[in-house]
Amino acid sequence: MGKFDAYIIPLKSLSAGNHTFEYQLNNDYFTKIDSPEVRKGNIKAQVIVKKTGSVFEITFNLEGNAILSCDRCLDDMEQPISCKENLCVKLGKDFSDEDEVVIVPEEEGEINIAWFLYEFIVLSIPIKHVHAPGKCNKAMSMTLRKHKARNINEEEDESLDESENLTDNEESGNDPRWDKLKDIFDND
């Protein structure tokens, strides 16, 4: 038994119509995949195969959380994953996944989707992924920030760093809660 045998879909032997397969992609799966982007997670994958003649339209629905390293502080963070991807597979002579249609050798008649699932998860991760405001490892992000800010004024870098990640006005440096606090101190 190969370590990804559970992810083999026996295309050729499927009857015409829709077939649903479900997988729970947990830490065990990510450990086996052994790829740097995602090391842990818990994602539910629903895979629907629609067979029409020798064409297979495969729909992947992925929902759950991937554990990633935060861009700002490097600590683990939960990245929600929710995506839907499609793959068209045909039976043919030699295996190929270069084009939009994946060709699976007719003799084998099956496809292992373990790596496709992983690729779709990675594709759905935003380029910049960071903790929610205030949830970063403060000591670590401070150290990293100082490192980055060697040539820049540190305060300036801090406001830059905050505003580029957040659309929320509250965190853009003009935090209204701060202003309130300042008012209180001023009145004292």
Instruction: Give contact residues for Zn ion (rule: CB under 5 A).
Output: 70, 72-73, 131, 136
Per-residue tokens: 154? 């540190």
Which lies closer to Zn ion via its Cβ, residue 73 or residue 102? Answer: 73
Q: How far is the CB of 175 from Zn ion (least distance, A)?
A: 19
Which lies closer to Zn ion via its Cβ, residue 51 or residue 72? Answer: 72
Which lies closer to Zn ion via its Cβ, residue 93 or residue 147? Answer: 147
Q: How far is the CB of 101 from Zn ion (least distance, A)?
A: 40
Nearest residue relative to Zn ion (C-beta): 70
Cβ contacts of 116 within 8 Å, gap of 6 or more: 60, 87
Q: How far is the CB of 140 from Zn ion (least distance, A)?
A: 8
Which lies closer to Zn ion via its Cβ, residue 48 or residue 125? Answer: 125
Q: How far is the CB of 153 from Zn ion (least distance, A)?
A: 22
